[in-house]
A and B are shown apart, each in its own frame.
Chain A
Amino acid sequence: EVQLVESGGGLVQPGRSLRLSCAVSGFTFGDYAMHWVRQAPGKGPEWVSGINWNSADIAYADSVKGRFTISRDNTKNSLYLQMNSLRTEDTALYYCGKDRTGAIGARRSGIDYWGQGTLVTVSS
């Protein structure tokens, strides 16, 4: 059974940092691209960042570029998101997701498995 479990969310003040983790099981982690997608309360999903199977291709949404860093450890079946200089508008439920392929952007991509999400609240 495929499982993705996010952790690391919480309440943080603006300007501070937080590191999210996603532990996966049930598939060969190193074969697939992974993504972080967030969803603010009452809003639609917003893609945040993606990383291909071997970390050679990484992309970010403009809204987080320069502040967030995605990484993965294929030996630990884990995905990470380092979030610096947090803003109130970063408040959201953060999901990790598995791509159908090893690439971030492919014709046959699509996020076929999702975690349950971890809530990040940025507030003073």
Chain B
Amino acid sequence: DIQMTQSPSSLSASVGDRVTITCRASLSISNFLHWYQQKSGTAPKLLIYGASSLQSGVPSRFSGSGSGTDFTLTISSLQPEDFATYYCQQSYSTPTFGQGTKVEIK
């Protein structure tokens, strides 16, 4: 299986901050990489697919980049509703998720 490693595991940030989360694959996955947001007690929500395509209805402050093994999710200006846990997931082979990055209020 392809291993997905996210960093950091958690971070503290303030409203208005620019936040960057990294996901690294154990081997090249082209751009078969997707990002999700999960809030407590709810199912994950798809934010980005194909490494950089914004899912319909998702605010434009979210963006994704990368290809191969290294990927980034960026929130350009953190909003109160963005405090959540974020996961990457690859679909290049048998799908796997990263371990998550928890974004907390500073």
Contacts and interface: CB of A to CB of B under 8 A. Distances in A.
Interface of A: 35, 37, 44-47, 50, 59-62, 95, 97, 100, 104-112, 114-117
A100 B49 contact: yes
Given A44-B87, A114-B44, A116-B43, A108 B49 contact: yes
Contacts of B89: 45, 47, 110-111
Interface string B21-56: 000000000111010101000011110111001010
A61 B94 contact: yes
Judged by DSSP, the binding face of B is loop
Interface in B59-100: 85, 87, 89, 91-100
A105 B32 contact: yes
Interface of B: 1, 30-32, 34, 36, 38, 43-46, 48-50, 53, 55, 85, 87, 89, 91-100
B49 A44 contact: no
A37 B48 CA distance: 18
Contacts of A37: 44
Contacts, number: 77
B43 A109 contact: no
Given A44-B99, A114-B44, A109 B94 contact: no
Contact of B32 (A61, A109, A114): A109
B43 A95 contact: yes
B67 to A, nearest CB: 11
In this complex, the member of A59, A62, A114, A115 whose beta carbon has the largest number of chain B beta carbons within 10 angstroms is A114
A47 B88 CA distance: 12
Contacts of A109: 32, 34, 49-50, 91
